[in-house]
Chain A
Amino acid sequence: MADYKFHLLVCGGTGCHASNSDVLAENLKAELAEHKLSEEVQVVSTGCFGFCEKGPIVKVVPDNTFYTQVAPDDARDIVEEHVIKGRKVERLLYVDPNKKEQIGDSKHMDFYKKQLRIALRNCGFINPENIDEAIARDSYAAMAKVLSEMTPKDVIQVIKESGLRGRGGGGFPTGLKWEIAANNEADQKYVVCNADEGDPGAFMDRSILEGDPHTVLEAMAICGYSMGADKGVIYIRAEYPLAIHRLKVALKQAREYGLLGTNIMDTGFNHDIELRYGAGAFVCGEETALIRSMEGKRGEPTSKPPFPAQEGFNKKPTNVNNVETFANIPPIILKGSDWFSSIGSEKSKGTKVFALAGKINNVGLIEVPMGTTLREVIYEIGGGIKDGKKFKAVQTGGPSGGCLTEKHLDTPIDFDNLLAVGSMMGSGGMIVMDEDDCMVSVAKFFLEFTVEESCGKCAPCRIGNKRLHELLVKITEGKATKKDIRNMRNLCHVIKDTSLCGLGQTSPNPVLSTLENFYDEYMEHVENHNCPAGQCKALMRYYVLPDKCIGCGACARACPVGAISGERKKEHVIDQHLCIKCGACLEKCKFDSIIVK
């Protein structure tokens, strides 16, 4: 074994991969070879570091130097400066957006300081395509412990006591779910891993699968042992090619080591796992729809009961858990339920992974203890709002969540608190909005998504969401009345109350929460046909400031619809009926005499 003095960890997650991190890794290896340092410095392609805002990332171990936005050509400097001369390549260091200073290593980055990584513990740490590194990091130790020292009942007890709740959105207690599946007798049972991550902007499950696939395989086997299932299926969306590849590699390696398959570790326990690919329908993240899709049927939900634990895949008892939930299982088994339940809030234990997106400085993937406040996440880890703008709202829980405002910033994040303030945990999407965002448009954007992704099975979701979207369009065009707002609110409640599955039951949340928190903004659109954020194109008005206009005619020449008129050297006027709000006049005017209101 080579005695490496340095490990250069190069992020191989989808984001960094897309920015040529694979070429970068090759270049680093080539540089090292050239300097005959291959025996002393190891280049490791890891999973995601979470700091996707500034990828590709290279982390130098042991000094934790954290290089951001590293291009393939930077390999030479990293090797010659850092590795050989021991000098940090300053231009690649991360610059704190608020303090405007370079941060030398990851231990001093605010982004990482408040994080506690349980589910993501191996992401950005091991080479996910090397089972040996995973084993060195305790992979399969929990499975070995379970098989050799625990009864299935013990396992369920530990998970129950840990207080772990489903990370896919519902927050159902995982141990209880396992217990129900365990108690249903059948000749065949299944463990299903839901890797059909569909929330826009969310990629926690993908990152775990890409960065630490073995943890999921191990957890599924543990679950299989606890409920008596010798078959596992990972339902993963086909749009995750890298995660699929890593899973395939991991499955092959685990089988070769005898950690999956028949008679695992000579205990007589059998468990093997296969992959099923989803075609990217959001609704297939709903467990009954997912099961139908796995069976080759149209992916649409069915009424519960029967729950999958009673009648699931191929009509057999099936336990479906999400990727992140599974990723928490091995540490709980190894470190105990007391350890896990000491982290988090009263009713939500452990940590939660969030995908930070939107108008925030540190876009990326984070993991924090439950009970961390939105303020800590947005301002400390997230580095605050981009370009020094004012925070306006944060949408949690993906397209089915709600928009929270300034007044919610000190809410400790957990399942129940978010529900109480009209949003939800969901799978952990967090989209930050600033003063430039129009909340009606935000609601419209999310509705567009649910309208697109509704399966169409039940009437309230199929037609109701379409109508809801149409009403929002009407508002953003300044054509809605107060009565429309009343009807819209009623429609929201009926859709929530009558829809068949979670998608429809939550789809009006963005509308309801923005109505609740930004009612004035809605009314401004309705009563004054004005969009305070200046986002709604149909409500914009272009005006010529008479005292600034010199009558050069440039605007009139630029206008594609001939909406601007005026004599030479005299002030020009825009005909609001003709104006199509293209903004060409504004661009052409050299005297700042055209304004938008």
Chain B
Amino acid sequence: MTKIKTLADLKKMRSSLKGEIELRQQSENPDSVVQVKVGMGTCGIVSGAKETITFFSEALRKRDIPAVVTQTGCMGYCHSEPTVEVTLQGKEPILFGNVDPAKADEIIEKYIKKGQLVDGVIPITFKTIED
């Protein structure tokens, strides 16, 4: 096994290992990172929510955006599945409909990165289904 010889070694090792627990780390303080919830009800899955959630988690990591991607049940907008709820730090959650990987890419690039709204926002009157 390689010995850790310097502070730099340790730091390097730490950052390479970070990914292993990143998910846990971020879920510790979900409010401080981008929260993405993908509706994974039957309707969502049928509509391709699985590809969407995979895309989100991979893309966000690749693009170095601290985020928590979770799944949730049906959000009641079966007509617009897959639905995705995005909560930016300190902002109200926004619900997007018909999110395929391409749409997801747009949400990341525009809304998550720059705060610009994109098409497909479902106007909602409730906050999140959990409250």
Q: Do chains A and B touch in the complex (CB under 8 A)?
A: yes
Q: Say if the beta carbon of B5 comes within 8 Å of chain A.
A: yes
A134-142, A363-371, A410-418 - interface stretch? A134-142
Q: Give the chain B neighbours of A342 by CB distance below 8 A.
A: none
Considering the chains assembled together, what is the distance between the CA atoms of A377 and B27 in angstroms? 25
Count CB-based A-B contacts (< 8 Å): 102
Considering the chains assembled together, what is the distance between the CA atoms of A85 and B45 in angstroms? 8
Contact A86 B1 (CB under 8 A): no
Q: Give the chain B neighbours of A125 by CB distance below 8 A.
A: 21, 24, 28
Residue of A nearest to B22 (CB): A136
Considering the chains assembled together, what is the distance between the CA atoms of A87 and B71 in angstroms? 9
Q: Say if the beta carbon of B119 comes within 8 Å of chain A.
A: no
Considering the chains assembled together, what is the distance between the CA atoms of A4 and B14 in angstroms? 18
Considering the chains assembled together, what is the distance between the CA atoms of A265 and B9 in angstroms? 9
Residue of B nearest to A83 (CB): B71
Q: Encode A127-165 as 1/0 by CB contact (under 8 A) with B.
A: 000001101111011001101100000000000000000
Q: List 20 A-B contacts (CB under 8 A).
A: A3-B57, A3-B58, A62-B23, A62-B26, A63-B68, A63-B71, A85-B45, A85-B73, A88-B73, A125-B24, A125-B28, A132-B17, A133-B17, A136-B21, A137-B21, A140-B10, A148-B7, A257-B1, A265-B7, A266-B5
Q: Encode B1-35 as 1/0 by CB contact (under 8 A) with A.
A: 11111110111011001111101111110100000
Q: Say if the beta carbon of A259 comes within 8 Å of chain B.
A: yes
Query: Known: A7-B23, A61-B23, A132-B20. Contact between A87 and B4, CB under 8 A?
Result: no
Q: Say if the beta carbon of A64 comes within 8 Å of chain B.
A: yes
Considering the chains assembled together, what is the distance between the CA atoms of A85 and B53 in angstroms? 13
Contact B73 A259 (CB under 8 A): no
Residue of B nearest to A139 (CB): B14
Contact B14 A62 (CB under 8 A): no
Rounded to whole Å, the gap between the CB of A221 and the closest CB of chain B is 13
Q: Which of A9, A138, A265 has the most CB of B within 10 A?
A: A265
User: A63 is contacted by which of B3, B17, B42, B70 (Cβ under 8 Å)?
Assistant: B70
Query: Known: A85-B40, A138-B14, A144-B10. Contact between A9 and B24, CB under 8 A?
Result: yes
Which residues in chain B, 59-80, are within 8 Å of chain A measured between CB atoms?
61, 68-73
Residue of B nearest to A259 (CB): B4
Contact B27 A258 (CB under 8 A): no
Contact B21 A86 (CB under 8 A): no
Residue of B nearest to A266 (CB): B5
Contact B17 A135 (CB under 8 A): yes
Q: Give the chain A neighbours of B68 by CB distance below 8 A.
A: 62-63
Q: Say if the beta carbon of A5 comes within 8 Å of chain B.
A: yes
Contact B30 A64 (CB under 8 A): yes
Q: Say if the beta carbon of A107 comes within 8 Å of chain B.
A: yes
Contact A136 B17 (CB under 8 A): yes
Query: Known: A3-B58, A7-B23, A64-B27. Contact between A136 and B4, CB under 8 A?
Result: no
Q: Say if the beta carbon of B92 comes within 8 Å of chain A.
A: no
Q: Give the chain B neighbours of A256 by CB distance below 8 A.
A: 1, 3
Beyond A5-B69, A126-B21, A148-B7: 11 further Cβ-contacts under 8 Å? A3-B61, A62-B69, A85-B40, A86-B41, A88-B73, A135-B17, A136-B14, A136-B21, A259-B4, A265-B6, A265-B10
Contact B6 A266 (CB under 8 A): yes
Q: Say if the beta carbon of A1 comes within 8 Å of chain B.
A: yes
Q: Give the chain A neighbours of B45 by CB distance below 8 A.
A: 85
Which residues in chain A, 54-82, are within 8 Å of chain B measured between CB atoms?
61-64
Considering the chains assembled together, what is the distance between the CA atoms of A108 and B20 in angstroms? 25
Contact B24 A61 (CB under 8 A): yes
Residue of B nearest to A65 (CB): B70
Contact A61 B20 (CB under 8 A): no
Rounded to whole Å, the gap between the CB of B30 and the closest CB of chain A is 7
Q: Give the chain B neighbours of A4 by CB distance below 8 A.
A: 23
Q: Give the chain B neighbours of A265 by CB distance below 8 A.
A: 4-7, 9-10
